[in-house]
Amino acid sequence: METTPSRPALCLLALLFVAPTASCGGGGEGETATGGDTSAGGEDDWDDWGDDEGAEPEVESHHGAIESIGISGPDQPWAEMSHEEQEWYMIGKVLPIMKEVFANHDAERWAPADYGCATCHGPDMREVGYEMPASNQYRVPAAGTPAYDNMRRIFPDVVEFMEAEVTPTMGTLLGIENYTCHHCHPEA
């Protein structure tokens, strides 16, 4: 039985997997990435680590995210998490796992360097508060309709991948039963 990592474990995983641009300064020992001295009781700049406007988290993994952190749901229901808890969970667990899922399917189309928050949430993600479905995503017809069947006929590999891997994985990661295309894609 898989267990979901605790918040401290997710924070540690986020520090291991995520290297935001703001933390990429070449600070020496006792110095934060932004130059603050922490060796003699100086102020620690990590408190505003996630507030760097425009910075896209970069994921670096030495093992597969799926193998390292597993596909399981959050400790508490997604809707009950604070915005900060959701952000940490998305960066520390959902992003690395979904990045791997998409790259495993088509590494050329879903190059890890190009896959980030905006891939799913859209270029206006901050302006819309990361709301889903994202307006820039492909519009998907309702399942079981002739339009959906036509989409499946035209894009069989993509539809199969989304149905067999993406939707069930996202549903599990967010702890949402009956997760559908329309959680991420607007309805056509």
> DSSP readout, the chain?
---PPPHHHHHHHHHHHB--GGG-S---TTB-TTS-B-TTSPPPGGGGGGG-TTPPP-B--SS-HHHHH-S---SS-GGGS-HHHHHHHIIIIIHHHHHHHHHHH-TTTT-GGG-SHHHHH-TTTTTTTT-SS-TTSPPBPPTTSHHHHHHHHHSHHHHHHIIIIIHHHHHHHHT-TT--GGGTS-B-
- pLDDT at position 110 over 90: no
What average pLDDT does the segment 10-24 reach? 41
Return all residues near 88 (Cβ < 8 A) that are at least 6 apart. 7, 10, 11, 14, 50
Between residues 41 and 55, the one the model is more confident about: 55
- Report the pLDDT value the prediction gives residue 81, as an integer from 0 to 100: 94
- Residue with the bigger pLDDT between 153 and 52: it is 153
Which of 57-66, 102-111, 137-146 is least confident? Answer: 57-66
Give percent of the chain with pLDDT exceeding 70: 67
pLDDT for 51: 57
The residue extents of the domains of the chain are 7-22+57-183
Q: Is the pLDDT reported for residue 41 higher than 80? A: no
For residues 97 and 27, which has the higher predicted lDDT (pLDDT)? 97
- Please, what is the average pLDDT of the chain? 77
Note the pLDDT of residue 57: 67
Per-residue pLDDT averaged across 36-54, rounded?
50
Give me the residues paired with residue 18 across strands.
Answer: 59
| Digit-coded pLDDT (tens) for 76-99 | 999 999 999 999 999 999 999 999
User: Mean of the pLDDT values across residues 153-157?
Assistant: 96
Distance CA 72, CA 129 (A): 25
Q: Is the pLDDT of residue 18 over 80?
A: no
pLDDT at position 1: 46
- 59 vs 136, higher pLDDT: 136
Per cent of the chain over pLDDT 90 is 52
Structure token digits, residue 173: 């990661």
8 cis-preceded (ω within 30 degrees of 0):
no
Question: pTM for the whole thing?
Answer: 0.65
